[in-house]
A and B are shown apart, each in its own frame.
Chain A
Amino acid sequence: MDHSILKDQLFALYDGELDPASRRDVEAHLAGCRECRESYDRWAMTAKAIFPAPKPATSEFFVRTVMNRIHELESPRPVRRWDLSLRWLVPAIGMAFALFLAIMPASQTMSMDNFLFQEMSGHLSWVYSNRSPNNDETLQFIMGETQ
Chain B
Amino acid sequence: MRSYQGKVLGLCTSLLNNASEAEDAAQEIFVKAYQALGSFHGDSKFSTWLYRIAANHCKDLLRKRSRQKTESLDALIERSGDEVQNLWEPSFDPRNSAGAAELVKKLLDSLSPDEMLILTLREVQGLSYQEISETLKCSLDAVKSRLRRARETLQEKSRHFLQAGTSK
Contact = CB atoms under 8 A, between A and B. Distances in A.
Interface string B1-42: 111111011100110000000010011001000100110101
Contacts of A47: 123
Interface string B107-142: 110000000000110111000110000000000000
B94 interface: yes
Q: Summarize B's interface: helix, strand, loop or mixed.
A: helix
Interface string A67-107: 10010000000000010000100100110010000000000
18 contacts: A8-B148, A11-B144, A11-B151, A45-B88, A46-B151, A49-B158, A50-B94, A50-B123, A50-B154, A57-B1, A59-B5, A59-B6, A62-B3, A67-B3, A70-B3, A117-B30, A120-B4, A130-B42
Interface of A: 7-8, 11-12, 15, 17, 42-43, 45-52, 54-55, 57, 59, 62-63, 66-67, 70, 82, 87, 90, 93-94, 97, 113-114, 116-118, 120-121, 124-125, 128, 130
